[in-house]
Structure 1
Amino acid sequence: MTTAKSADAFVEFDHVQKSYDGEALVVKDLNLSLPKGEFLTMLGPSGSGKTTCLMMLAGFETATHGEIRLDGREINNIPPHKRGIGMVFQNYALFPHMTVAENLSFPLEVRKMGKSDREAKVKRALDMVQMGEFGNRRPVQLSGGQQQRIALARALVFDPELVLMDEPLGALDKQLREHMQYEIKHLHESLGITVVYVTHDQSEALTMSDRVAVFDDGRIQQLAPPDDLYERPENSFVAQFIGENNKLSGTVKSKSGNHVVVELPSGKTCTALAVNCGDVGSETLISVRPERIEIAAEDGPNTTTADVKELIYLGDHIRCRLTVHGNDEFIVKVPNAAGHKHLVVGEQTRVTWSPDDARALDPL
């Protein structure tokens, strides 16, 4: 997948490839541009190429082919410390022998900044992450969450226009991690900086980003805002990787306008949007989100019987595992609200979904 070059692109990858052994490509012909001020997340499983892309942008890895540009200037051969990029790592990378204030002052000293300016910038950066009282502590005296705040402050202290973050919240517990997601998002919005963020956590990507680039096998599978990515996946990998998803395999029986009728192994049919499927007779995979499925009171184009296998109470909704068209892992999220039918394990029910909520994609 490629993205068109943009006159206002701040960060650009132009036909970038990366190989470590001269044969296998870890990153395959990457074309990506983002404007100043965007929060872009590179999301994907381990080995998909996302971290390698970040490291090439930072200057810690060299592109095998292609150009990387920052604000219109090619930076392939510029060393990391001269790129003016802030960096936040998962392991914090703080100097243990320095105080918090000294850690923050270090990148300013490297830039030959005067003492009074350094002190003012360190104070501002610490206040920015609500750590103003901790300047004289050493990293070992801080909790994991506090250390991550300091690492973030150090990346911001010299006012970079671009900040790169590599799994920065991976070592934190769930509650703190979620809190820090919002803090980073709010900092990005208030400072107007450009952020490129790497994670394998899809909920983190959806929560924080303006756009998400989903990586697999060294390529961007889809680049889109979070809601587009979730509601309108372009292929089966993205549909399966982002959020919970029900899939039904079948064969294209007929096409009409934007829709296809798919024959399932049971002999029954399902109507879906023709998004990324072949002609009549070709195999396809239907994707439909659990919250788009309703317990059926009336017949519709995709109404079918379902066997209730498992019910899990989750407060605001009941997670129902059903058998539908031979799929024993078909999930429906039933709102825990007045008027919704109460299901019973072992009994049969009926479910339905709109053809526009089902997407016919490439077979896995």
Structure 2
Amino acid sequence: MVASAVTQDAFVEFDRVQKSYDGETLVVKDLNLSMARGEFLTMLGPSGSGKTTCLMMLAGFETATHGEIRLEGREINNIPPHKRDIGMVFQNYALFPHMTVSENLSFPLEVRKMGKSEREEKVKRALDMVQMGEFGDRRPAQLSGGQQQRIALSRALVFDPTLVLMDEPLGALDKQLREHMQYEIKHLHENLGITVVYVTHDQSEALTMSDRVAVFNDGKIQQLAPPDQLYERPDNSFVAQFIGENNKLTGKVLNRAGDAVLVELPDGKTCEALAVNCGEPGSETLISIRPERVDVTEAAGPNTAQAKVLELIYLGDHIRCRMNVHGNDAFIVKVPNSAGHKHLIVGEDTMVTWATEDARALNPL
């Protein structure tokens, strides 16, 4: 699956959208994407993958070279940003330093010619929404980074927009505060029923917050799916490597039987895997296996392999073990830190195994 088809009742639609800055190189390539009202969709990908360009085209700060962008069924390609009824939250907050918090929130309401009493009521409600009701008289410089981001968020919500766009909004915050704000934004989304398009390069952020995630690379959506499906069932090697930690074994397809494929590995051994995105016998493939799907055990099976323990890292709830498996020194196994699991020692030989359905045969990188 590359992207969902454009549908009649979609809230936001990208229909065959392309973007080029120089007239030659396409930054966004033939994008078709639909999202429903009230959905939280994250555009995830490395720098230069096209995700921020898509957000800027939706906001109206960039113009599509080709194709249509629609909001509630209405084409918005030529509508200026301030008439699109879209709230924006940026990484750098973009607050006016010479205005108080209340004045910052009141500004988009003044632009919309709203009366004073209505403005005051909406500003109070928006500040209370992010637990900042007592900070209305302060200026941005008197607030911490987390407080400024809350104000930027409330300013984006104050005029009840039909859509809220967020461009790396938590990138400037420290890890603990960033994680806290992830849950706050997700709860606001759920409580208010707002539609959110969120851009990030942080995969854990995308998995935590989203209803669906569009994984971008090279100007295209590689996979569009709910977080659990992206992680458990990646469509190709890029998604498997970009989302979460992943073990990869390269090899050659020997034969296929139904949904399973037998792959010959560089050390001459074989591995049975789920045929997801691989070619016919004789073609190269990459097998993707999640570290938590591998068991340290002496039990025999189609995918039992000898392993040498190279490194152990204690991480509280689990031990991260780096092993040599089928000649791969970077093979990771996550062993739960609980009773009943084998105590491993660096340098020792052991056995590991995994189920056929947990090994996905994908396209070679």
- Shorter-normalised TM range: over 0.9
Once the two structures are TM-superposed, the CA of residue 8 in structure 1 deviates from its matched residue by 1.9
Q: 1:74 maps to which residue?
A: 75
Q: How does 1:350-361 map to 2 (within 5 A)?
A: 350-361=351-362
For 1:176, the equivalent position in structure 2 comes to 177
Is the partner of 1:160 in helix, strand or coil? coil
Q: How far is 1:297 from its partner? A: 2.4
The whole-number CA distance in structure 2 between the counterparts of 1:70 and 1:81 is: 14
Please give the alpha-carbon distance, in whole angstroms, between the structure 2 residues aligned to 1:83 and 1:2. Answer: 25
Cα displacement (A) at 1:296: 1.5
Q: Distance in 2 between matches of 1:265 and 1:203?
A: 33
Counterpart check, 1:200 vs 2:191 = no
Aligned mates of 2:305, 2:279 — CA distance in 1: 25
User: What residue is the counterpart of 1:322 in the other structure?
Assistant: 323
Which residue of the partner structure matches residue 97 of structure 1?
Answer: 98
Q: Deviations over 1:152-202 (max 9, x none)?
A: 000000001100000000000000000000000000000001000000000
Q: Using the TM superposition, give the Cα deviation of residue 322 of structure 1 relative to its aligned residue in structure 2, in angstroms.
A: 0.2
State yes or no: 1:291 paired with 2:312: no
Using structure 2 for the length normalisation, give the TM-score.
0.99
Q: What stretches of structure 1 of length at least 5 have no aligned partner?
A: none
Aligned match of 2:26: 25
The alignment partner of 2:287 has SS state of strand
Question: AA paired with 2:140?
Answer: P
The answer to whether the 8 Å contact 2:3/2:224 transfers is: no
The residue that corresponds to 1:333 in the other structure is 334
Q: Which 4+ runs in 1 deviate beyond 2 A?
A: none
Distance in 2, Cα, partners of 1:162 & 1:34: 11
* Per-residue deviation, residues 111-132 of structure 1 (Å, max 9, x unmatched): 0000000000000000000000
Match of 1:302 in 2: 303
Q: Give the CA deviation at 1:7.
A: 2.2
Say whether the 8 Å CA contact 2:6–2:14 is kept in structure 1.
no
Per-residue CA shift, 1:55-80, capped at 9, x if unaligned? 00000000000000000000000000
Over the residues paired in the alignment, what is the CA RMSD in angstroms? 0.4
1:257 aligns with 2:258: yes
Equivalent residue of 1:136, what SS?
A: coil
Does the residue aligned with 1:116 lie in a helix, a strand or coil?
helix
Q: Which residue of 2 aligns with 1:39?
A: 40
2:191 corresponds in structure 1 to 190
Q: Which runs of 5+ in 2 are unaligned?
A: none
Measured in 2, the distance between the counterparts of 1:336 and 1:84 equals: 50
Q: 1:150 matched to which residue of 2?
A: 151
Q: Tell me how far 1:95 sits from its aligned partner.
A: 0.2
Matches within 5 A, 1:40-59: 40-59=41-60
For residues 87 and 205 of structure 2, the distance between their equivalents in structure 1, rounded to whole angstroms, comes to 20
1:2 Cα shift? 3.3
Residue type of the alignment partner of 2:11: F
2:247, 2:291 within 8 Å by CA — same for their partners in 1? yes
- How do residues 226-305 of structure 1 correspond to structure 2 at under 5 angstroms? 226-305=227-306
Distance 1:342 1:254 in 2: 37
Give how far 1:315 is off.
0.7
* Distance of 2:340 and 2:85 partners within structure 1: 58
The 2-side partners of 1:70 and 1:149 are apart by: 26
Residues 98, 139 of structure 2: 8 Å contact kept: yes
State the distance in 1 between where 2:84 and 2:76 align.
Answer: 7
Letter in 1 for 2:96: F
Q: Which residue of 2 aligns with 1:135?
A: 136
Q: Distance in 1 between matches of 2:3 and 2:195?
A: 21
Q: How many residues align?
A: 364
